[in-house]
Amino acid sequence: MTQLSVTPPHSIFVQIASYRDPQLIPTLLDLIQKARKPDLLRIIVCWQHAHDETMIQFWQHGFGNWRTEQTDSWTIQHLSHREAKIELIDVPHMMTQGACWARNLVQQRYGGERYTLQLDSHHRFVDAWDTLAIEMQESLRDASPKPVLTAYLPMYDPENDDARSSNEPSILAYARFSREGVVLFRSKTLSDWRTHIRPVRSRFFSAHFAFADGHFAQAVQHDPDYFFHGEEISLAVRAFTHGYDLYSPHRLIGWHEYLRSYRVKMWNDHNHEAKERGEIDEPWHERNERSLQRNRALLGIDGETLADVEFGKYGLGAERTLADYEAYAGIGFKWRGVQQSVLNDVPPVAGTQRPDEATWKASLLRANDVRVCVHQNGFDRHLVTPGVEHALRAATSVTVVIYGNDETVLRRETVDGSGLSRYRKNGWLDFHVTFESELGQLPACYVVELFDDAGKVLSRVRCAIDA
């Protein structure tokens, strides 16, 4: 921890992990310019950059007072802009170990600031965002001693800085369990937000916007052995079990960029070819798989544990239990279960207690994520209409029926038009079907049928679903 000699009462420790992002500098400029008190910002960036991304770009945009600090592991580039202090942890991009590792590296620089703000490196902000965030945080003190403001912010377009998808605050909502067992979220507009006088409770945590008391940066640090997916649900649970309460802001703080099309990502650089050239120890997907296993063990997904895994300070807290979080969030990790109230976006209730296991299980539906993936050769081998050439290419619609072990139909879904065009690529039909079923009804197989524009079945393929 970097200790400040005096901690101003409204100081903010800003955490940003940036990987080869041309939006980093515009984000920093907007963050500082829109702050009411930029002199109280201490901004730490894990600056993961290529050789052609240099300090010159910062100087050209008015950052000054440059000096360097050498730590045991990294060079820290110190800058300032409009009295805000910026520290760039100088990390060559091929030396990074992932987003969570980078976020953890930033958190080691925490210096006792009163508040902390975690961001990505592609944001825009409302005027006086800092005052607004502090006011919302302090409005919750009678409801929670340790509130965390967090949300998926609405979108902006880096190609059109005036374009905003929304000027309304949003709240995190359940989306699905991924095939790997990660709970994923979606963003929805906070209903009747103008009538709310303070933030509203949330089940989930956004890694691209979280505002909390400064001690959050120490108490619930990012697990550097996580990679990407699993980061947010693990932090939601860990924050909750450490006694923090999750809230969505009832007023708009800023915007976030989601498209990623203009940015090089770590998985573009850290691939098999880079490993073969000796530039990295392992490709990104190996880190990712290990991270997903770690997440399953932490949360007990499908009842999984890893006997040799030691989570240490990156484990669950002692103030509340995993079962307490499950009751609050309406999520049952062991069975990939979700309550109907969660699917209906009913707000969570503080202090909800989990009932006995039989009652708890009876309240859950199983969340399923089935990947439908068949090559065109498979369809051609299972023609129903003789004489058809290239059935997948000729099809105008697809129907998939998913069956349980007892041949019960669990889900029927039809895809046509633009959906079929999107899922039919490079000779494959490849898409996911997500749905809920009774807790004991596990998907066992699926049948895919291709149809022509007259409704005639061209091909029918049956595939088992791996457990």
Q: Tell me: the pLDDT tens digits for 248-295?
A: 999 999 999 998 777 888 889 899 998 999 998 998 899 999 999 999
Indicate if the pLDDT at residue 4 is higher than 60: no
3-state helix, strand, coil in the chain (%, to 5): 25, 35, 40
For the whole model, what pTM was predicted? 0.93
Average pLDDT over residues 332-350: 96
Distance CA 450, CA 456 (A): 8
Burial of 264 (0-12, 13-18, 19+ CB in 10 A): middle
Distances (CA, A) of 82 to 33, 38, 324, 350, 407: 8, 7, 45, 41, 67
d(CA 47, CA 56): 14
What phi-psi label fits residue 302: left (phi over 0), alpha (psi between -120 and 50 degrees) or beta? Answer: left
| Under 8 Å between Cβ of 179 and 466 | no
pLDDT at 119 over 90: yes
CB atoms < 10 A from the CB of 57, how many? 14
> 309 in helix, strand or coil?
coil
CA distances from 369 to 55, 65, 144, 432 (A): 45, 52, 36, 6
Residue 6 pLDDT greater than 70, yes or no: no
Q: Do domains 1-362 and 368-464 have the same CATH topology?
A: no
The predicted structure's pLDDT at residue 163: 75
pLDDT of 164:
84
Cα(355)–Cα(360) distance, integer angstroms:
6
Positive or negative, the CA dihedral 293, 299, 303, 309 is positive
In the chain, what are the domain boundaries? 1-362, 368-464
In the numeric block, the tokens 């990407």 are attached to 228
> Which amino acid appears at position 336 of this protein?
R
As a whole number, mean pLDDT of residues 230-255 equals: 97
Query: Which CATH number fits the domain 1-362, given the four candidates 3.90.550.10, 3.40.50.12780, 3.30.2350.10, 3.30.365.10?
Result: 3.90.550.10
Task: Read off the amino acid at residue 388.
Answer: V
Which tokens belong to 261? 């099309």
pLDDT per position as a tens digit, 156-195: 998 887 778 889 999 999 999 999 999 999 999 999 999 9
76 confidence band (pLDDT: 50, 70, 90): very high
The whole-angstrom separation of Cα 107 and Cα 110 is 5
Question: How sure is the predictor about 466, in pLDDT bands with cuts at 50, 70 and 90?
Answer: confident
Q: Which tokens belong to 319?
A: 């103030």
pLDDT at 3 over 90: no
Give mean pLDDT, residues 226-232: 92
The arithmetic mean of pLDDT across residues 383-407, rounded, is 93
- 368-464: CATH topology is Immunoglobulin-like (2.60.40)
Alpha-helical (H) ranges within 242-390 are: 266-269, 272-276, 284-299, 322-329, 340-343, 357-362, 376-381
Residue 316, classed as helix, strand or coil, is: coil
Q: What is the dihedral of CA 293, 228, 221, 274, to 10 degrees?
A: 90
Residue 212 in contact with residue 244, Cβ under 8 Å? Answer: yes
